[in-house]
Amino acid sequence: MTLLGAARISAQPQILLSFDYEYIRQGMAGVVNLSGADVLGGVIETLDRTYPFFPVTNGFASLVSVPLNQKIKKDYPLSVTVYLKDGSSVKSEGVLRVESGEYIRESNFVIPKDRMYLLDPEIQQNEDLRLTSIYSVVTPTRFWEGRFATPVNAATTSPFGSVRSYNDGSTRRHTGVDFRVTTGIPISAAATGRVVFARGLDIHGYNVIIDHGWGVFTNYSHLSQIFVVPGQVVLQGEIIGLTGNTGRSTGPHLHFEVAVNGNWVSPIEFLKLKMPT
């Protein structure tokens, strides 16, 4: 069987797969649904990662994410293994098409002199590794219901995925979206979840990370104050801290990240996803 985009495909009478996409752009995610009277669960394998299915009301669902720097306009091997109640399994092969995220370039990001050391590539690499190790954890429990919400009511100033040029001549990819705010504005949890990180980082400044389950994390950076602690369960809309200008920052703002199964994805596009219930 070949898996093709959003088509609904019957691998056998009691197995049904459906995809909410024809392709996935760099730095974005898509939903795959699985159902059938004999189905016990399953996994998707693509882009050197495994994406498990989780139980929902009418079957199972999985969130597939594409890295921000994945090569575009290419079909990548994708397989779906379905586990059946009789102990057997069915494996189907197909492809995942990756398209461009159409990300822009941004210039003239001037880091203050006393923070120029934060442009050191080694500091960036170490912090990226620390974050991706957190983001790669997959908690089977889903804490949230419905769609995620924006953490602050404010205009965006810098989009996800852009290539930024700094005043030392270096460039960086932007792994979140920035909101224009002054210092001291309350920030709320985008969805219900468990706090897994709440402390300062070199680049992200005072930082809160929430695990929402199913491999989904949100990150709130450059805060001036943090009101939560690791292990604490927070509800959607609950205040977790105040905006600020800590870390590698050019001025007060909120940097908001979303990660799915270890990959940074566009927060704005993720908030639009129709989540299975």
DSSP per-residue string spanning the chain: ----TT--EEEETTEEEEES-S-EETT-EEEEEEE-TTEEEEEEEETTEEEE-EEETTEEEEEEE--TTPPSSEEEEEEEEEEETTS-EEEEEEEEEEE-----EEEEE---GGGGGGG-HHHHHHHHHHHHHHHT---SS----S----SSSS-EEE-TT-EEEETTS-EEE--SEEEE--TT-EEE-SSSEEEEEEEEETTTEEEEEEEEETTEEEEEEEESEE---TT-EE-TT-EEEE-B--SS-SSSEEEEEEEETTEEE-HHHHHH-----
- The closest of 248, 251, 232, 249 to 240, measured between CA atoms, is 232
105-272 maps to CATH 1.10.287.130: no
Task: Write the CB contacts of 128 (distance below 8 Å, at least 6 apart in sequence).
Answer: none
**15-19, 58-62, 157-161, range with the lowest pLDDT:** 15-19
pTM of the predicted model, to two decimals? Answer: 0.93
Task: Give the count of beta carbons closer than 10 Å to the beta carbon of residue 228.
Answer: 20
Q: Would you tell me which CATH number, out of the four given (3.40.50.150, 3.40.50.1110, 2.60.40.2470, 3.40.50.410), belongs to the domain 9-99?
A: 2.60.40.2470
Indicate whether 3 pLDDT > 50.
Answer: no
Mean pLDDT of 20-48: 94
The model's pLDDT over 148-201, given as tens digits with 9 standing for 90+, comes to 999 999 999 999 999 999 988 888 999 999 999 999 999 999 999 999 999 999
Average pLDDT, the chain: 92
Enumerate the domain spans of the chain. 9-99, 105-272
